[in-house]
Each structure stands twice: as C-alpha cells, then as structure tokens.
Structure 1
Amino acid sequence: MAQESYADLVAAEDVLLFVNAAVTATGQREFRSAAGEQRLSLAFLHEYVRVNYRRVYAAVLALDINDHNAALIVRHLLESAGEASPEEKRTEGRLIAARLAVLPPQRVYRLLRALRTAKVNNRRTRAIFRDWLAARPDPAFDAVKYRGGLKSAARHAHLPYDGGELGDFLFRPGHRPRYEHPLLDAHRRAHYEQGALYELPFTVAEGFAARHGVPREVFLERIAPRTTRLERLRVQARAGAAPADLATMPLTRLAGYVLSLGLDERARRRAELTGALRASALRAAGPHAGTWGRVSAVLDDSYSSAGSGEKRRRPLAVALACHFLLAALAGAGAYRGRWTSGGTDPLLVRPFGATPIGSCVLDALDDSPERLVIVSDGWDNAPPGLAGEVLRVWRTRLDPDRRTRVVHVNPVYDADGFDVRRLAPSVPTAGIRDAEDLPALVEVAEFAEGRTGLAELYTYLDRRTADFTQDSRCPRST
C-alpha cells in the first residue's frame, strides 16, 4: 500500500510538472536558456508523459495551456494512435476536436502540414480535420487568407474540392474568367485593380498594396474597416501610435503595451493607462472580483524580468498584469503589492537589479494576508535561498494551520529542470502565461499542495474534460 501511495505521488508530481511546462514553455529563448534547450527539454517531457500517462496527456488539452503545446499534444496523439485503446481514441477525438475549434486557424493549418510531412494520414486523422474544415464559417475566406494551408489540407484529408469554383481557385488559378463568390472574385481582380484589394482580408491586401505601390498611409486608412482588433494593434505598434481601443485590450497584452512605452510617456499618460489597466483587470476577474479577501503580492521586477529577444519584457508584463488583477480580486483597500526593486509606482516598473524575494516575502507576511501570491521566475538571489527558508519556517513553525494561503506563479519555463523553478517545496507553484488565467491556476496550484495522489487528480481532469468538450468555445473556463 505504501508503495502504491508513493507511486501515485510520483505520478501526480510528473503530471503537474508537465502542466506547468505546457502553460509556460513555447520553445523560444528565455533569459537563462536558449531556444534549442527549450525545444529539447519540451520534446522529452511530451514523450515521457505521453508514453507513461496517455490518459492525462490527452486531458491536458482541456486545461489553460498555450497554443504551442496544444498543437504538439494533438500531433503526438494522432501520430501514436496505435498505442491507444478504442475508449481512449473516442475521448481523445472529442478533446482534439474541441481544442482545434479554439486554436488559431493558421496554427491548425501548420499542424496539418506537419502531419502530412510525418505521413500521418489514417482515416481517423482525416475525419477529425474534415470535421474541423466543415465547421469553418467561410471556406472562401480560408482559401484567400490561408491558401497554402487549405490546399495542403484538401490533399491530405481527401476533400472533395476537385469541382466547383473553390477547387478551381485553389488548384487551377486563372481557369475561370470570374467567380461567383465576391471574395474569390475580389482576389482575382486585385491582381490588376487597386480598388479590389480593399475587399480582401488585411494580410492578403497588404501584399497587393505593396505590389501596386499604394502609399502605406492611404492603404491603412482605406483598409481599416476590414482589419481585426489584433491586426489594428499590430499596425499601431509598428507605427508607434497609441491603440484606439486601449480599454478593450486583454490584460496581459495591455500590460506589455504599457511597458513598451518610455517612462516619461507612461507618467504623462498615467490616468489613461491606469484606468485602462484597472478596467481590463476587473473584466478579467469576472465573478471572482472582490472575493479573495486580504491579498498581498510579491512581484518580481528584477533584471531577469526583461525576458529575451523573443519574449521581450514578458515576465514583467505578467507581473504588472497580475498586480492589477489581484487588486480587483481582493476588492477595495484589501490588496498590497510589493515589487522586488522596492518601487512603489507600478506604472513605472522596469527590469532592474537583483531578486530579494525572501525579504519581500517577510514584509508581505507582516500584513497578515489571507492570500500571498508570489509572481517570479523563482531565481531568489539576494541572498540566495532566503525565500525558501522563510517560507519553510512560516509553513512549519508559524502557520502550520495554513491560515495564509501561499501560492507561487512562475511565467518562465526552466529547461534544465523540466519545470518552472520553485521557491520552496512547501509552497505550491504553477506556471503562468497570461495573468487572466490566475484564478484557474491558483486552483491547480492549491490542488497540488494536497499531495493526495492520482485519484483526485483524475477526478479534476475528468471534470475539466467534460466541461471543455461540452463548450469548446470557452477554453479558459475555471
């Protein structure tokens, strides 16, 4: 019995380790590890969990993992379909279909190309992607915007596109003098008619505008009604202009935009930026707003929060977003955040200095909070190890009844450790990518603190799987 309990403990630790990696790791360079190290570490984890815990590996698709790992899980499940039982295949099929429905279409088309390269072309795979393509709202839109991906998918999934104008558009361009579908015909006319390009999706029209020599300012003004919110944000960021719909931006993305501004501009636009961050945080808190009681936070703005060239200031953006979200979750006057730099103005934070997590935790615990949330990459170095010792003594000597709930969320994957770096064994740690996921991740982290083995973990994953497959439109359900 003791051996079984120990095996369950190891299995639960393995699964939670993989969940942390699936939330934070994207195979890109981090502050302390190169992209190659990240990809190699992540590949090992995927293989290990898929082989040893296939049921859980598939169920992770129902959690708030990032799109990169979701696509990897789908690919590995389909590549290794022969290892699954019929019941596992049915469950995996529902999970894959639900996850594909919420993945960005360009990532799904990229996944299809990877499966085609790997020669994965069984009946089950074709059926899954035929269903996904059949559910796309406008095949003509995909044919114009994702032409290469749809062509590859049509060949791979054996789609009946041989006849009809969609098949002619994909495989026999120039065969028809005109198309009945207005978008397909606009694409045909855009080769020689400037006015037609403003009927196309932004990314496609951009190429035609460059070919026709349309001035950038004229093109952006006329194409504006056809752009999505994210496309407008990208264009405005390249031009250095302030987004027009600042208050509607997602919280972590908004925090990243704020950090991209100079300190003088942040100070000058203080009221506007602070108001937008608070509004976005309140929207992200949703029904949890004002329900967390007294909350203290330790927020890492040390030099390592600068991230990397591929994830510029990403850890600091997550910390800033968490600061405003925690204030909304705690309610009026019940929150206090402490930055490791000692700064008191969240709007002017910048990556600087060492990481004195331990002394900040001591100060935060003096507030006697109901919850203490630590947002850090886990590198406590001023002095090294102080945070772990403070948390150990607090949990074992001063607060054995757990009156204060402590959780550490980490936005950085540690390739060497195959996990996010932890501050103390006695404190649950969860990987985090977007601050908006904080309420759900705290639930996972506190579940991990129980150390109750696989039975409760399976129950939790089964519940999330059922919720996710019933409503695939809402992957962030908590």
Structure 2
Amino acid sequence: MSELVAAEDVLLFVNAAVTATGQREFRSSAEEQRFSLGFLHEYVRVNYRPVYAAALALDVNHHNAALIVEGLLRTAGEAGGAEEKRAEGRLIAARLAMLPPQRVYRLFRALRAAGVNNRRTRAIVRGWLAARPDPALDAVKYRTGVKAAVRHVHGRPADPETGDFLFAPGRRVRYGNALLDAYRRAHYEQSAVYELPFTVAEGFAAKHGVPRAVFLERIAPRMTRLERLRTERASGAGAELAVMPLTRLALYVLALPFGERVGRRAELTGALRASARRAAGPYAGSWGRVTAVLDDSFSSSGSAVKRRRPLAVALGCHFLLEALAAPGAYTALWTSGGDDPLMVRPYGPTPLGTRILDALETEPERLVIVSDGWDNAPPGLAGEVLRVWRSRLDPGRGTSVVHLNPVYDADGFDVRRLAASVPTAGMRDAEDLAALVEIAQFAEGRTGFTELRAYLDRRVEHFLTEAGA
C-alpha cells in the first residue's frame, strides 16, 4: 500500500508538471494555480527528491522544468550525497540545454535574487554560458540577463568585445563583431536595424518611425519560423506551416476566421497532417482501431492568457491519432457533434458520457478521451459509463481506455479524472500524446513505486544519452 501511495504522489506531480504553467485557467485564477503548484513542488522535492530530479527527463513543460532546477539548486544541502548531487547536476545541465535561453536567463535572475550562489550553482551557470553557440547574439538579444548571470558567478565573457559591449559600452568606437557593431549603428542608422534579430530590431524600427509593413518586409530574412508564423498575415509572407510543431500549428489555425479556414482548407489540413505524421514517427499506423472523444465545449476556450489552448490540444490530438491509427481505422467524436475538425470552436456543454457511449459502440482497440474532465450533460454520466464498462462489460480490458487532460485543476492538485478505473494523464502539447499514454499505465493503481522508479531510470538514461549525443 505504501508503494502505491508513493506512486500516486509522484504521478500527481508529473501530471501537474506536464500540464500546469501557473497561469489563469478557465476555472481557476493564476494565484490559485501558482499556490497549488508551489505546494506540489515542495512536497515531492522533500519526500521524493531523486524522483523530483528525474522528472527533468520527462516531458514536463518549460515552466515546471525551471521550477525543478531552481528548487534543486536552492536546496543543495538536502541532497543525499555526492553521487546524488552528480546525478542532479547532469540532469540540470541537460535540461537547461533544452530550455529557451530567455527562460534560463530568467531562472538565473531568480537564483541571484534569492542569494543562491553555491559552488554547484556557479559551475552550472558558467557551463551553460560557455556552451552558448553565439555569445554576441545573446549579448544583443538578452543583454540584461547575460549581465546578471555573469555578475552572479563573478565571471567575465570569454570575448573581450562582448565584455566591453555589456559592461563598458563607451569604451570602443566600433566593434569587430558584425552583430555588436550593427547594434551600435542601429541607434542612428536605419539600414543597420535589418542586421539585428527581429525582437531587437522591432524596438529600433519604432524609434526610427519605420512603417510596420515596410519593416516586416525587410526584416523577413532575419525572422525565425515562429516569428514568420506570428506575422504572416500582417506581412503577406507565406509561413512554413508544415514544419511547425503540432500544437502551435493548431493554435494558429484556430486563430484564423472561419472564412479563411475554408479558403485555405487544403493547405491547413495538409500542414496539420504533415506535422502529425512527423510527431507520430515510427508509431504511425501501429495503434489499430482508434476512437477519440474530443472536447470542444465552451470550457475549451481556455482563458485570456491561454486562449483556446485546450481546444488546440484536442485538434492536434485528432490529427495525431489519425496518423497513429491503422489506415481507415480512426473515428473522431467531438462533444459538440460536429464532424469538421477544421471548423471546431469552443461552444456548448460537455456531454462526455453520451459521446463515450457512442465511441464504445465502434468497438475500438483504443479509446482516447481528450477533455478537461468537467462532464456536465448530465454530470457524472461519463464516470458511470466507464465504471460499468470496465467492471461488467470489458473486465478483460479488450479495449484500452485513457483520458488525457490538458487543464490543471488547482483545487484538486491534479488534473480532473473521469473514473478511478480509467488512467488519466495531464498533457500540454498534443505531440506528447504517445509518451503520455505510456506513462498513464502507472495511473491505474495496479503498479507500484518500484516499477515506476524503474521506468523513470530508463527515461533518465535515455535522456542523458541523447543530451550527450
């Protein structure tokens, strides 16, 4: 029993770390989210520290990965010994290499503000700074963060020019590095603006009064794929949709007016399917008969800061499950009753129970439910349907059922579940679906802590091997 409780505690944290971002959700405020998440981090760090560190090897989101790193570095004295510290250090270094640089610099500023300056922290910060591929780009794009990090570890940039740019900008008349010199010239020369990264150039373009359309046209070669996607409609440039991550692409599609979705149906559908096939990888076509119940009720509209995020996850899962299922063996059932995934919108109640009954009638090998778990038409029907199905009609588990929930429930310290007999996993990005279905097996209450630790050890080994490569 104690092993099952420990496994449930860890899975509770994993669900939160995958799903929650400390931002407002449809039914809870940002303050409630942060308080709930903070409690879980402290509880798991104190009681299961090795597992807390091992979570860095899982598909936790960037927000929680940064919180885990900060928690481990703040409490270095609580580590069990030298071997445990070395294991934590390897996981921290590998995870920091995956995080967006702006988030890492924000983490370093938080550590500095908290007075965390032990030897391991300084070594990790120095190692990460030394591994940056273009220190001059970081100095221009993340100037404040770089200065704070260098000062915190009592270091200095390896390149003297970058050091002068950061700490003595008036010392040099010009710089040998083209990017640093472009930043200097951009203060008075408009042509230099287009030699800078997009986010930096935006400020200079506004300072020089450059019309937005002209600026976007000329800066296009310097923009990343995501920046081109965000500005595509304003600039008139064609975004490379097919190479975008699945959930980001789904968010982009849902932000388009219905008329534009109809006019670009072939392009958008092709891009979503290409992205889904890429996410499916070697598992494409291997899941047999699959039926999905997808939540497009009003609560899938998300919140002001996570607009349409739950619906985008459901849309991404639709195309990914289509790619994972055997050819012609996929059925999608939206809670609204609609049958055109490109035209979905957050509307109406959540009749999950009715749609699950419809799904079970298709006799699938796998039933995947993507919903925030608020079954309300009528309340509780979904849980009762699943309970009877599992206990009376399918005790041999001929149909695999899993519930994936894209919304963290701050009051319950977990994602909301439909039934005790059905495993539930939190998810943030649709492309993580295959991995989350794998880890959901531990949420059925039949697997102990030992098996879960063995699974985490395998994930850590694979994660560190890939990071080393």
- TM-score of the two chains, using structure 1 as the length reference: 0.96
The answer to whether 1:181 aligns with 2:174 is no
The answer to whether 1:147 aligns with 2:150 is no
> How many equivalent pairs are there?
468
C-alpha separation in 1, matches of 2:150 and 2:261? 49
The answer to whether 1:115 aligns with 2:116 is no
Residue from 224, 244, 266 that aligns with 2:220 = 224
Residue from 423, 426, 435 that aligns with 1:431 = 426
Q: Which residue of 1 aligns with 2:353?
A: 358
Q: Secondary structure at the match of 1:15?
A: helix
Contact kept in structure 2, 1:409 and 1:431, CA below 8 Å:
yes
Q: Shift of residue 282 of structure 1?
A: 1.1
C-alpha separation in 2, matches of 1:367 and 1:240? 46
C-alpha separation in 1, matches of 2:250 and 2:159? 49
Q: List alignment gaps of at least 5 residues for structure 1.
A: 1-5
Q: Which residue of 1 aligns with 2:456?
A: 461
Q: Which moved more, 1:210-219 or 1:455-464?
A: 210-219
Contact kept in structure 2, 1:102 and 1:473, CA below 8 Å:
no
C-alpha separation in 2, matches of 1:120 and 1:451? 41
AA aligned to 2:223 is T
AA aligned to 2:69 is V
Q: Shift of residue 473 of structure 1?
A: 8.0
Contact kept in structure 2, 1:101 and 1:473, CA below 8 Å:
no
Aligned residue runs from structure 1 range 270-309, under 5 A: 270-309=265-304
C-alpha separation in 1, matches of 2:369 and 2:215? 46
Provide Cα deviations, 1:333-364, integer angstroms capped at 9, x if missing partner. Answer: 10001011111111111111111111111111
Q: Which residue of 2 aligns with 1:257?
A: 252
Residue from 58, 67, 72 that aligns with 1:63 = 58
Residue from 27, 43, 47 that aligns with 2:42 = 47
Q: Shift of residue 240 of structure 1?
A: 8.4
The answer to whether 1:331 aligns with 2:326 is yes
The answer to whether 1:86 aligns with 2:64 is no
Aligned residue runs from structure 1 range 90-109, under 5 A: 90-109=86-105
Moved over 4 A (4+): 240-243
Provide Cα deviations, 1:272-313, integer angstroms capped at 9, x if missing partner. Answer: 221221111111111110000000010001110111001111
Q: Secondary structure at the match of 2:194?
A: helix
C-alpha separation in 2, matches of 1:379 and 1:225? 45
Q: Which residue of 2 aligns with 1:3?
A: none
The answer to whether 1:315 aligns with 2:310 is yes
C-alpha separation in 1, matches of 2:232 and 2:108? 32
C-alpha separation in 1, matches of 2:258 and 2:177? 50
C-alpha separation in 1, matches of 2:159 and 2:129? 17
C-alpha separation in 2, matches of 1:202 and 1:269? 27
Q: Secondary structure at the match of 1:373?
A: strand
Residue from 191, 199, 203 that aligns with 1:203 = 199
C-alpha separation in 1, matches of 2:329 and 2:159? 65
Contact kept in structure 2, 1:300 and 1:319, CA below 8 Å:
yes
Contact kept in structure 2, 1:420 and 1:430, CA below 8 Å:
yes
The answer to whether 1:347 aligns with 2:332 is no
Q: Which residue of 2 aligns with 1:156?
A: 152
C-alpha separation in 2, matches of 1:152 and 1:380? 48
Contact kept in structure 2, 1:162 and 1:168, CA below 8 Å:
no
C-alpha separation in 2, matches of 1:135 and 1:229? 24
C-alpha separation in 2, matches of 1:243 and 1:322? 25
AA aligned to 1:406 is V
Q: Which moved more, 1:405-414 or 1:329-338?
A: 329-338
AA aligned to 1:150 is V
Contact kept in structure 2, 1:290 and 1:331, CA below 8 Å:
yes
- TM-score of the two chains, using structure 2 as the length reference: 0.97
Provide Cα deviations, 1:83-107, integer angstroms capped at 9, x if missing partner. Answer: 0022211110000000000000000
Q: Which moved more, 1:401-410 or 1:153-162?
A: 153-162
AA aligned to 2:254 is L
CA 1:298–1:210 in 2, change beyond 3 Å: closer, same or farther? same
AA aligned to 2:367 is L
Q: Shift of residue 449 of structure 1?
A: 2.3
Q: Shift of residue 263 of structure 1?
A: 2.0
Q: Which residue of 1 aligns with 2:396?
A: 401
C-alpha separation in 2, matches of 1:92 and 1:455? 20
Q: Shift of residue 200 of structure 1?
A: 1.1
C-alpha separation in 2, matches of 1:167 and 1:336? 59
AA aligned to 1:200 is L
Q: Shift of residue 241 of structure 1?
A: 5.5
C-alpha separation in 1, matches of 2:263 and 2:253? 12
Q: Shift of residue 269 of structure 1?
A: 2.1
C-alpha separation in 2, matches of 1:143 and 1:240? 28
CA 1:57–1:119 in 2, change beyond 3 Å: closer, same or farther? same
Q: Which residue of 2 aligns with 1:38?
A: 33
C-alpha separation in 2, matches of 1:453 and 1:343? 41
Contact kept in structure 2, 1:295 and 1:369, CA below 8 Å:
yes
Q: Which residue of 1 aligns with 2:69?
A: 74
Q: Which residue of 2 aligns with 1:444?
A: 439
Q: Shift of residue 451 of structure 1?
A: 2.3
AA aligned to 1:13 is E
Q: Shift of residue 202 of structure 1?
A: 1.1
C-alpha separation in 2, matches of 1:77 and 1:403? 43
AA aligned to 2:116 is V
Contact kept in structure 1, 2:293 and 2:334, CA below 8 Å:
yes
Contact kept in structure 1, 2:297 and 2:347, CA below 8 Å:
yes
AA aligned to 2:436 is L
Q: Aligned residues: percent identity?
A: 76
Q: Secondary structure at the match of 1:472?
A: helix
Q: Shift of residue 267 of structure 1?
A: 2.1
Contact kept in structure 2, 1:33 and 1:415, CA below 8 Å:
yes
C-alpha separation in 1, matches of 2:187 and 2:72? 42
AA aligned to 1:352 is Y
Contact kept in structure 1, 2:8 and 2:445, CA below 8 Å:
no
Q: Shift of residue 330 of structure 1?
A: 0.2
Provide Cα deviations, 1:246-289, integer angstroms capped at 9, x if missing partner. Answer: 22221111111111122222222222221221111111111110
Provide Cα deviations, 1:454-476, integer angstroms capped at 9, x if missing partner. Answer: 111110111111111121289xx
Aligned residue runs from structure 1 range 122-141, under 5 A: 122-141=118-137
Q: Which residue of 2 aligns with 1:372?
A: 367
